[in-house]
Structure 1
Amino acid sequence: MAITEVAAYAHLSAPDIEALGLELDAIRHDIQHKRGARDARYIRHTIACQRALDAASRLTIGLSHGRTGWLAGVAGLALAKSIENMEIGHNVCHGQWDWMNDPEIHSSTWEWDMAGVSAQWRYSHNYRHHVYTNVLGMDDDIGFGVMRVTRDERWQPGHLVQPLRNLLLAATFEWGIALHGLYSERDRVAEPVQKAAQTKAFLGKIARQAGKDYLLFPALSGRRWRRTLAADVSANVLRNLWAYVVIFCGHFPDGAEKFEPSVVTDETKGEWYLRQMLGTANFDAGPVLAFLSGNLCYQIEHHLFPDLPSNRYAEIALRVRELCDKYDLPYTSGSLLRQYWLTLRTIHKLALPDSMLTATSDDAPETASERKFLGVKAFHASDTVGPLGRSGLRTALRRAEKARAAGIR
């Protein structure tokens, strides 16, 4: 089932883990020292271009007459909403640009263009998810409360419709995130008055968001309101689908491990870093795809340094890969299509009861633990040493795979 001993699973000693933590701290300090005018120009330019694209797309929808113009406007609006959602809103709300001391581009003031309240999302995401990444019972983002993505969750008959739930969540992702943030925030506060205030804030945000997209802009279109309404609905659905794919590919492919609550007891900074590296996954992307994903193709780097500027993740990734080689750790990544295929496989497979599954609960592709290494016999020396002379998880996984293939236990 889930990992109970992070060090044992990673095949690293306590000194190794602390040394890894110090090297990651050094990366953080280096990037903090480097950030400056270039980074500030990047985010300001991104915001300006996104707003221009949004306006141009809405004008195209409103003024064009043919289907081509409508499709172009919808594509542009969906792109503008995706950029605002991920590269701007998500990252600003993480505090990545707070160091600029710009009251407009600050985590405490930014309200993004989607249904959820930014403040509610910051608690459920920045705290519950990022601090307790993939810790069972503590990170509510494990399946978002509606899907079974690990065998640590007991199967129930309702999971049979999980593939349909997945499709529904994909199309309405902003609403799922909004409700997720609301429930998390209501769980945090104790007094009924505070809970009512959170619900009121949530309903107010929905009214403003729906009013803008589904009332105001269609009304401004006059007799062509249906065309504008259909465009706004389509753009929001496309944005939802893209955000869903990006988020799911960073958290649910094979190699994004889950952890028992005991791992956070007396957890050191090095162990926290290691848990982030083991609990997340990247997908391969060039500069354009990286930008369109809000640089969340670098989910490993984002979880290591959630408050560092997203435009720095590509250079950070090179150094994190080097550390993975040095400490013989896997760097979980793959093409976007591959990562999404592995995610879909897990969602559909775990819709079934465990009795219909073949791999053991300790050694399934989507759920691993240190128990998968029990009884694995060592091979010759060349198989037990990592590329830089250190034996770690990557070598152990390769050795376990050979053991399984040979039927040796």
Structure 2
Amino acid sequence: MAIQDITAYAHLTDEDVEEIGRRLTALEKKHRDSLGDADSRYIRGLIRTQRGMDLAARAGTIAAPAIAVPAAAVLGVAKILENLEIGHNVMHGQWDWMNDPEIHSSTWEWDNTGPSSGWKHSHNVVHHTYTNILGMDNDIGYGVLRVTRDRKWKPSTLLQPVTNVVLASLFELAVGFYDVDLGRFFAGRQTWEETKPRLFETFRKVGKQWGKDYVAFPAVAAAVGALLPGKAGRRTSAKRRASAAGKAALVANLMRNVWAYAVIFCGHFPDDVETFTKRTLDEESRSEWYLRQMLGSANFEGGKALTIMSGNLNYQIEHHLFPDMPSNHLAEVGREVQAIAEEYGLPYNTDSFPKQFLQVQKTLMKLSLPNSMLRADASNAPEVRSDEAFTGNAEIAAQTGHKQLRKGLALLKKARPKFLA
């Protein structure tokens, strides 16, 4: 129920695909050659702003517990900026060209429970190499959610609506244990010797991260309260300030977790994002890899604030094409990628943030049910297509010619039942 022959599915010739690859390679080179002082100022200024917000939020919570709620919101925004627009992108090597030892993929440790070393392996290497390849890319449901019919339904899948909420709330732990791959260990496909060092490294990072937020931060707040005059006042103030600090960190982490979950899911699981079989890897060229990234990712639209808060991952298609391209170039890159997609009749999957998010949630709720309760054909559902979507439908195939994949997908969409598709 996934794509096997990506060139034929895209309704392109081998020459078309190679030309797309050539143009994307040239596009990447053009933007890399343009990198300079303005880009350096952008990332350095953003880091200063983020660190200032973090410090101000923590200091404000300690100094005046009454403002803990707005301070927690500011701290949450600071954590979002650090994780998405700074940490994620720095660890991708987007700013390595500056040769700054602090802002470098080899040295950056982000404000998250996931060790940077594990994240760079599971995300940068595995996910970005094998994007949406079934059995290769663990991002397809993160091992706990059914986001495609290719994942076998079990009675426990009925709990997916609950699992989804838990995953969003504790997303930092999903990130933290992502590279440990406990599922492989419990399935007997990974030894304890392979699992142990990654597991213990993650435990250490979780301890360090939570120690900072829930032990050190409240302890400093309590110490400040203890300095206030009056014995009763000191005890009350210390306890109150420590409690406010802990709660502020909890709220900030929850904000970051839910937002990161929403951004990532909107880039990977909206309707018409394609999945692929391992067969697509057979002698896959760089140009075919580009095509797989274009079909296997989605964008969402919004203003400048949404772009920065999402780490420029609202340009997920462009990020997957050029993972180590500095994020502040992706908007301009996107206009050129969209033009290429239109020229070759390829879909350019983009819509508003609310619509993409609601599509994802609909898919997650729908796939909590067994396939027997779903009406759309398994080769032509909103969340999955396969080569048979065209080869098994002569009428639609006859209307879908060279460079007409976008037209064909529109015809397939019209052919689906509307309810529980």
> What is the TM-score when the length of structure 2 is the normalising length?
0.90
Q: Which residues in structure 2 correspond to 1:124-273 (within 5 Å)?
A: 124-183=122-181, 195-222=195-222, 223=238, 224-273=241-290
Residue of structure 1 in register with 2:71 after alignment: 73
Q: Distance in 1 between matches of 2:166 and 2:301?
A: 26
Helix, strand or coil for the counterpart of 2:133? coil
For residue 177 of structure 1, report the CA deviation from its aligned partner: 1.1
For residue 186 of structure 1, report the CA deviation from its aligned partner: 8.8
Helix, strand or coil for the counterpart of 1:27? helix
For residue 42 of structure 1, report the CA deviation from its aligned partner: 0.8
**Given residue 217 of structure 1, which amino acid in structure 2 is its aligned partner?**
F
Q: Which residues in structure 2 correspond to 1:359-378 (within 5 Å)?
A: 359-373=376-390, 374-377=392-395
Q: Distance in 1 between matches of 2:106 and 2:191?
A: 23
Q: Does 1:352 align with 2:343?
A: no
Counterpart pick for 2:329 among 288, 292, 312: 312
1:225-283 residue CA offsets vs partner (Å, 9 max, x unmatched): 01110110111001100000000000011011110011011001111000001001010
Q: Is the 8 A contact 1:256 1:281 kept in 2?
A: yes
For residue 195 of structure 1, report the CA deviation from its aligned partner: 3.8
Counterpart pick for 1:396 among 403, 408, 415: 408
Q: Distance in 1 between matches of 2:328 and 2:193?
A: 41
Counterpart pick for 2:106 among 93, 105, 108: 108
For residue 342 of structure 1, report the CA deviation from its aligned partner: 0.4
Helix, strand or coil for the counterpart of 1:334? strand
**Given residue 88 of structure 2, which amino acid in structure 1 is its aligned partner?**
H
Residue of structure 1 in register with 2:294 after alignment: 277
Q: Distance in 2 between matches of 1:402 and 1:252?
A: 20
Q: Does 1:341 align with 2:358?
A: yes
Q: Distance in 2 between matches of 1:384 and 1:150?
A: 25
Q: Is the 8 A contact 1:257 1:278 kept in 2?
A: yes
> What is the TM-score when the length of structure 1 is the normalising length?
0.93
Q: Distance in 1 between matches of 2:107 and 2:77?
A: 23
**Given residue 12 of structure 1, which amino acid in structure 2 is its aligned partner?**
L
Residue of structure 1 in register with 2:306 after alignment: 289
Residue of structure 1 in register with 2:232 after alignment: none
Residue of structure 2 in register with 1:39 after alignment: 39
For residue 207 of structure 1, report the CA deviation from its aligned partner: 1.4
Q: Is the 8 A contact 2:300 2:315 kept in 1?
A: yes
1:38-73 residue CA offsets vs partner (Å, 9 max, x unmatched): 11111111111100010011112112242xx22210
**Given residue 90 of structure 1, which amino acid in structure 2 is its aligned partner?**
H
Q: Does 1:331 align with 2:348?
A: yes
1:77-136 residue CA offsets vs partner (Å, 9 max, x unmatched): 000000000000000111101111111111111000010101001111011111000000
**Given residue 58 of structure 1, which amino acid in structure 2 is its aligned partner?**
R
Q: Is the 8 A contact 1:92 1:110 kept in 2?
A: yes
Q: Distance in 1 between matches of 2:270 and 2:375?
A: 18
Q: Distance in 1 between matches of 2:377 and 2:312?
A: 35
Q: Is the 8 A contact 2:396 2:408 kept in 1?
A: no
Q: Is the 8 A contact 2:218 2:245 kept in 1?
A: yes
Q: Is the 8 A contact 1:116 1:178 kept in 2?
A: yes
Q: Distance in 2 between matches of 1:237 and 1:3?
A: 36
**Given residue 140 of structure 1, which amino acid in structure 2 is its aligned partner?**
N
**Given residue 268 of structure 1, which amino acid in structure 2 is its aligned partner?**
S
Q: Distance in 1 between matches of 2:329 and 2:124?
A: 19
CA separation of 1:249/1:360 partners in 2, compared to 1, >3 Å: closer, same or farther? same
Aligned CA-pair RMSD: 2.0
Sequence identity, in percent? 46
Residue of structure 1 in register with 2:91 after alignment: 93
Q: Is the 8 A contact 1:123 1:185 kept in 2?
A: no
Q: Distance in 2 between matches of 1:152 and 1:50?
A: 41
Q: Distance in 1 between matches of 2:106 and 2:305?
A: 29
CA separation of 1:197/1:270 partners in 2, compared to 1, >3 Å: closer, same or farther? same
Helix, strand or coil for the counterpart of 2:28? helix
Residue of structure 1 in register with 2:230 after alignment: none
For residue 20 of structure 1, report the CA deviation from its aligned partner: 0.5
Q: Distance in 2 between matches of 1:402 and 1:116?
A: 43
Q: Does 1:15 align with 2:27?
A: no
